Amino acid sequence: MKRKRILRKSETMPVVKSYLTPEKAVRQRFNVKNSRFIASLFPVESEEESSRYLDTVAAEFPDATHHAYAFRIGAGSEIIERASDDREPAGTAGPPMLQFLQGYNVSDALIIGTRYFGGIKLGIGGLTRAYRECARICLENAVLRMREPVQAYHLTISYEDFGAVNRLLESKSGIIHEADYGREIKLVAGIPARLNRSFLNGLKTATRGRGKWEKI
């Protein structure tokens, strides 16, 4: 069980940067030496959602030779990155698409490179370029929006401190999602992750060191 944490001035918070994410799915097609490529981009927020899209594409193109993929979910130290070559030579399919996502600073996104082999081998370099093109053509045709990571907290404060804490949340663009008014006030609040450090410093001041917090 996680324990409530008392604020300490010396604690530091990691810097979490904003990133781009696709607003909707994109599909593009192209050919390379008789091989047909179908590139699909999906906005995703979990590994389970990525798996569902992979199953959907595999069912849509059941006779395809390969369904390589790459995805990134989240940001900062908690980012999840996966890539699969799906029986293409190691490192020629999934990793090039993942590198493109990283280079574009795109997350919460899945790219699937579906290939129908056309009888002509593309070689290591040719495959790498083709799957990189899957990522490029999708991202350049996508509507990308900036997403700012949010850190959620459980906060435990006194009634006396509620007004000051509420003003602090407003000043940091925070949102109260849940509130429980018992002997103490227990809140679930979300704060832009880039403001973690200043928020926690402000919380200590607002509660005179009595406030308790826990990351969710």
DSSP 62: T
Are 42 and 76 found together in one domain?
Answer: yes
With residue 67 as reference, give the H or E element that holds it: strand 66-73
Domain count, the chain: 2
Domain, as residue range, for 156: 5-16+149-215
Can you give the pTM of this predicted structure?
Answer: 0.72
Are 122 and 180 found together in one domain?
Answer: no
pLDDT (tens digit, 9 = 90+) per residue, 58-117?
999 999 999 999 999 988 778 999 999 999 999 999 999 999 999 999 999 999 999 999
With residue 102 as reference, give the H or E element that holds it: helix 94-103
pLDDT (tens digit, 9 = 90+) per residue, 154-168?
999 999 999 999 999
